Amino acid sequence: MIFITAKFLVKPEFADQWPEISRIFTEATRAEPGCLWFDWSRSLDNPNEYVLVEAFRDGDAGGAHVNSEHFKTARRELPPHLAATPKIINFVVPQDEWNELGEMAVTPAS
């Protein structure tokens, strides 16, 4: 899978509205056949920063994503709400789902 984490520094005046501002892009991306997940989180340290964790089935799915109409629209519509160019980490990972964090395994109460 293609595993991506990106940080978006949103202008303070748009930070609370970011989930709604990015909603159409988020929903369209999640509907892509090759999208495994596309999840936003807000930073606990900086209320103007959102972290996007996304994954696509493979390179073809990632290519379809960046060539989609909703991605092209997002490239035009989202940057005016940002304070800086997003930062990204992108890896090809030899798996297709989350693994359990064994070091923090939860056992049923007896």
What tens digit of pLDDT does each residue of 18-66 get? 999 999 999 999 999 999 999 999 999 999 999 999 999 999 999 999 9
- 63-109 pLDDT, tens digit per residue, is 999 999 999 999 999 999 999 999 999 999 999 899 999 999 998 88
Q: What is the pLDDT of residue 8?
A: 98
Read off the pTM.
0.91
Q: Which CATH architecture has domain 2-91?
A: 2-Layer Sandwich (3.30)
Element (H, E) at 52: strand 49-56
Residue 110 banded pLDDT, cuts 50, 70, 90: low
Domains of the chain, residue spans: 2-91
Chain centroid to CA 64: 16
